[in-house]
Structure 1
Amino acid sequence: MKTLKIIPFLVFTILFIFGCETKSKQITHKEDYNKYLTIKDNKSLSFARNEIDFWQKKFDAAPNQISYLSQLSSNYSTLFEYTGNISHLYTSEELLTKSNEAYDYSRVSTIRSLARNYISQHRFKEALVLANKSLAIGEGKKETQKLLFDVQMELGNYPEAIKNLNAIRDMTDFDYLIRLAKWNDHKGDLDTAITFMEKARDIAEKYDNKTLKIWSNSNLGDFYGHAGRIEDSYNSFLQTLAIDPNYSYALKGIAWIVFSKERNTKEANRIIDAIAATHNTPDFYLLKSQIAQFEGNKIEEIKNRNAYFSMMENNNYGAMYNKYNVLIYADDKQTAQKALEIAKMEVNHRPTADSYDLLAWSYLNLGQHKKALQIAQKHVAGKSFEPKVQYHLAMIYKSNNLALKTKPIKEELLSSLYELGPNFDQKVNQL
C-alpha cells in the first residue's frame, strides 16, 4: 500500500518540476543594466571632441598639413557613432573628400576611409568605385580586399565577395574571421557563423583590444538572438556594456529582449528613452511604435511613427532608412505606390535579395500578386534567410494559392518569432 501512495506523489513532483521548467524564464534583470542607463559622461565622446579641437587648431595654423584632415575626420566619425547625429558623418565625408583631392586620390588609406564613410551612408556603388581605385594602386592590398568583400556583400555581388574573402584567408586574423562569419550567416548557416564569431572574440580577448571586443561581443549578441539563444545574447550585450558603458547598440539589444521575449513593454520603453537621450536616431521611434502597436495603443503608435517621419524630414539621411520607409509605406494602401518607388530605387542602389523582397512586397500590397510572385521566385526564394523576408515570401505564396510552398516557411517562422517580434505572432499563425 505504501508504494501506491508514493507513485502519485512522484508523478505530481515530476509534473511540478517539468511545469516550472517550461515556464518562460526571466532573462533580464534591471540591476544588471540600470547603471548604463544613467551615465552622465562619455569618455570616448569627450576624447573625440578634445581631439577635434586640438587638430582643428593645428590645421588652422598650418593648412598645408593635409594629414590633419584625416585625424579630424576620424574623430567626427566617433561623434556620429556615439550620438547618431548624421551631420557628423557628413562632416567626416567633407574632410576626407578634401584630403583625397589634395592627395589627388593617391593615398589608399584615405581612399578606403572615404569608401567606408560611403558604406555608412548606403552609397555602395560609389564605395565600390573607391575600393577598386585602391586596388589599382596596389598598396595595402589585403586591407583593400577586406573593403571589397564588405562592399560586394552589400551590393549582392557574391561571387566577387567570396573571391576577395578567399584572398585574405587566415584563421588567426580577426578581420578574416568576422567576414567568414558574415558569409556563413548570409548562406543561412548560423551555427557556423557563430563559431567563427566566437573565434574572433577569443582573438580580441587574447590581445585585449577594446574596439574588437566591443565589436565581436555586440555581434555575437545579435547572432545568439537569431539562433534563439536569448540568455547568451543578453550576456553578450552585458559584456559589451562592461567594456564600453556608452555603447547604445548593446542597450538596444537588451531592450529588444525585454520587449520581444519578456513582453515587458514599460521596461523596454524605459530603456529606449534612456538611450535616445544621448543617441537619437529615427529607428528608436519605430521601435516605440512597434511596442505601442503590441499594446494596442493606436495613438502612441501613430505618434511615434510621425516622430520618425518628422526626424527624417529634418535631417538628410539619404538612402539609409529606405528599407524602413518601404515597409511602412507598403502597409497603407494610400502610400503603397510610394513604397514601390523607393523599392525600385533600392534595387538600383543594391540589387540584393533583400532589396528585391521590398520590391515584391510593394507589388503585393498594390494587389499585383503575380508580379510579386515572379520577382520573389527569381530574386528572393533561397537567396535570403531573414525571417521578415521569409514572411513576405510566405504571404506572396499564399496570395497566389501556393499552400504547399507556404507551409514549410510557416513552420520555420514559428521558430523565428523572437526575431520578428510580438506583432508577428498572429500574422505567422494565420499563414
Structure 2
Amino acid sequence: MIKSIISPFSILLLCSLFLCTCDSAPGKDEEKSAGINDVEIPELLPRPAALQNAMEWDRTQSGYMQLASDLRLKDAKAIKPRVTLAQIFVNEARVTGEHGHYYPAALKMVNEALDLNRGKDTNLEFLALSTKAGVQLSQHEFKEALQTANRAIEINPHNAQIYGALVDVNVELGRYDEAVAAADKMVKIRPDLRSYSRVSYLREIHGDVVGAKEAMISAVKAGAPGYESSAWARLTLGELYQRYGDEEAAKKQFEIILRERPNYPFAIAALGQLELDKGNYPEAEMLVQEAADIIPEVGYYIQLAEIYKQTNQKEKTEKIEDEIFVMLQDDVDSGHNMDLEYAALYRDHFEDYDKAIVYAEREYKKRPENIDVSRMMASLYLKKGMADTAAPYIKAAGTTDSKHPEYLAMLGK
C-alpha cells in the first residue's frame, strides 16, 4: 500500500497557486497581474490521519491540484476540469463523511459546467448530467435526480453508469419494474462491481435473499482489493449476512475489509454494531468510537447514543444527542433530505412515535410506493398500538415479496 504524506512544500504550493481560501493566496489585483484566473474553486479538505494511507489519496490530491491549476492558469471557462472536480468531491464526501462541504461543492462545479457548456459538447453535457444525478441521489432529491438522469440518457443511452443512477432513483421512488429494466441494461453493457451490486439489491427487494448474496459476492470478486468501492461492496455483503441472521459470516467480511483497507470506518462501526446487538457494550463503544474518531458520520453518533442509553450514561447520552441534531441540521442546511433519518432516530432512540410519524409522513408523501418508507410507517403505527392504521402500510411494504426480517415480524413470521 502506498503511504500518502502531504509535505509542507506541497501545502505551500497548493495554497499559493490553487486555493482561493488560503491566507497566503494573492489578492484579485495581484492574480490578474500574475496571469492567474479569478476562479472560485471549493477546497479539498485534508483527510483525517487514519485515511491518509488509502491508496487513492495521493492520486486524489495530485488530480485536484492539476485541475485547479488548469482552471486558474490556463482556461477559466474549461468544462471538463469542473466535472472532474465534482466527481472528486463526490468521492471525498463518501470517504470522509464531510457531506455538508462536498455535496454543495460538487453541485457548484457541475452546475457551472452545464452553464458554460449549454449542450455544445454532448459528451461533456452527458458527463456533467450523470455526475449531477449522482449528487442529487446522495442528497435524497430523487425526483430531481430522475429528471437529470433521463436528460443524460437522451444524450447517451449506451453508458452503464447512467443506468446505475436510474436503478437507484427508481428503487428510491418505488418504481421497481423500471429499476429492474435499468439494471438489465446496465449489466448487459458492463457487468462489473457496480452492476452486480445493483442486481443484488433488487434481488433482495424481491425476496431472493440467496440470489442477492450471490450477486454481491460477484460484485466483491469484480473489485480490486483495497479500493473504497471494493470495501463498500464487501461491507454491503456483510450487512446482508447480518440482516438475515448470519453474524459470523458478517464479521468475517468486515474483518477482511480491514485487512485490505485498514481504518475503513464503516467496517469498524459494523463490527461495533455486531457487539452492540450482542449486548457487549464496552467492546461496541470502543469500536464505534474508533470509527467516529476517523470520520464524523452521524450514524456512528447514533450508535454511541444507544450504547450510552443502554449503559445508563445519562450525561454522555444527552451530550451526544445534542451533537446528533447539530449534524443532522448541517446535512439539511447543505441540501440533504433527512426526513427518514429523523423518523428512525425518534422511533429507535427516543421512542417518540408521534414525532417520528411527522417525519415519516413527510417522506411518504414524496415516495408512497417505496417499501422501506411504507415499512417505517407500518412500524410506527404498530408501536402506537394502531394495527388497523398500520395494515395498509404493511400491505404496501410487501408488494415486492420482500423477506426483510422487520417486515416478516409484522406478519408474525
State TM-score, norm by structure 1: 0.73
Q: Which deviations, in whole Å up to 9, do the C-alpha atoms of 1:251-279 show, x marking residues without a partner? A: 11111122223x32112212222222231
How far residue 229 of structure 1 moved from its aligned partner, in angstroms, is 2.6
Residue 257 of structure 2 corresponds to residue 244 of structure 1: no
CA distance in 1, matches of 2:189, 2:117: 35
Task: Report what 2:198 is aligned to.
Answer: 179
How far residue 334 of structure 1 moved from its aligned partner, in angstroms, is 10
Residue 88 of structure 2 corresponds to residue 75 of structure 1: yes
- The residue identity in structure 2 corresponding to 1:74 is Q
How far residue 120 of structure 1 moved from its aligned partner, in angstroms, is 0.9
Describe the shift of the 1:344–1:65 C-alpha distance in structure 2 as closer, same or farther (beyond 3 A): same
| Conserved? CA contact 1:42–1:246, under 8 Å | no
How far residue 156 of structure 1 moved from its aligned partner, in angstroms, is 0.9
How far residue 140 of structure 1 moved from its aligned partner, in angstroms, is 3.1
CA distance in 2, matches of 1:52, 1:308: 31
Q: Supply the RMSD in Å over aligned alpha carbons.
A: 3.0
Query: Larger helix proportion, structure 1 or 2?
Result: 1
Task: Report what 1:97 is aligned to.
Answer: 111
Task: In structure 2, list runs of 5 or more residues that go unmatched.
Answer: 1-47
- The residue identity in structure 1 corresponding to 2:217 is E
Residue 74 of structure 2 corresponds to residue 56 of structure 1: no
Q: How does 1:159-170 map to 2 (within 5 A)?
A: 159-170=177-188
Task: Report what 1:3 is aligned to.
Answer: none
| Conserved? CA contact 1:121–1:319, under 8 Å | yes
Describe the shift of the 1:118–1:272 C-alpha distance in structure 2 as closer, same or farther (beyond 3 A): same
Describe the shift of the 1:212–1:48 C-alpha distance in structure 2 as closer, same or farther (beyond 3 A): closer
Give the match's secondary structure for 2:365.
helix
How far residue 375 of structure 1 moved from its aligned partner, in angstroms, is 3.1
- The residue identity in structure 2 corresponding to 1:301 is T
| Conserved? CA contact 2:160–2:190, under 8 Å | no
How far residue 193 of structure 1 moved from its aligned partner, in angstroms, is 1.0
Answer with 1 or 2: which has the greater Rg: 1
Q: Which deviations, in whole Å up to 9, do the C-alpha atoms of 1:43-100 show, x marking residues without a partner? A: 4445434432332232122212111112221222232122211211210121111112
CA distance in 1, matches of 2:394, 2:65: 51
Q: Percent identity?
A: 20
| Conserved? CA contact 2:160–2:189, under 8 Å | no
Task: In structure 1, list runs of 5 or more residues that go unmatched.
Answer: 1-36, 395-404, 409-431
- The residue identity in structure 1 corresponding to 2:94 is E
Q: How does 1:202-221 map to 2 (within 5 A)?
A: 202-204=221-223, 210-221=227-238
Describe the shift of the 1:203–1:45 C-alpha distance in structure 2 as closer, same or farther (beyond 3 A): closer
- The residue identity in structure 2 corresponding to 1:230 is E
- The residue identity in structure 2 corresponding to 1:191 is V
Describe the shift of the 1:328–1:290 C-alpha distance in structure 2 as closer, same or farther (beyond 3 A): same
Q: How does 1:212-291 map to 2 (within 5 A)?
A: 212-261=229-278, 263-291=279-307
Give the match's secondary structure for 2:223.
helix
CA distance in 2, matches of 1:337, 1:216: 36
| Conserved? CA contact 1:276–1:284, under 8 Å | yes
Give the match's secondary structure for 1:277.
helix
- The residue identity in structure 1 corresponding to 2:76 is P
How far residue 115 of structure 1 moved from its aligned partner, in angstroms, is 0.4
Q: How does 1:410-425 map to 2 (within 5 A)?
A: none
Describe the shift of the 1:313–1:131 C-alpha distance in structure 2 as closer, same or farther (beyond 3 A): closer
How far residue 288 of structure 1 moved from its aligned partner, in angstroms, is 0.8
- The residue identity in structure 1 corresponding to 2:156 is G
CA distance in 2, matches of 1:216, 1:249: 11
Q: Which deviations, in whole Å up to 9, do the C-alpha atoms of 1:284-328 show, x marking residues without a partner? A: 111012222332444443433232112223442645432231133
Describe the shift of the 1:168–1:72 C-alpha distance in structure 2 as closer, same or farther (beyond 3 A): closer
Describe the shift of the 1:220–1:364 C-alpha distance in structure 2 as closer, same or farther (beyond 3 A): closer
CA distance in 2, matches of 1:332, 1:66: 46
| Conserved? CA contact 2:164–2:182, under 8 Å | yes
How far residue 242 of structure 1 moved from its aligned partner, in angstroms, is 2.6
CA distance in 2, matches of 1:110, 1:369: 47
CA distance in 2, matches of 1:90, 1:329: 27
How far residue 220 of structure 1 moved from its aligned partner, in angstroms, is 1.7
How far residue 119 of structure 1 moved from its aligned partner, in angstroms, is 0.9
Deviates more, 1:190-199 or 1:303-312: 303-312
Match 2:371 to one of 345, 353, 357: 353
| Conserved? CA contact 1:184–1:190, under 8 Å | yes
Q: How does 1:283-322 map to 2 (within 5 A)?
A: 283-315=299-331, 316=333, 318-322=335-339
Task: Report what 1:138 is aligned to.
Answer: 156
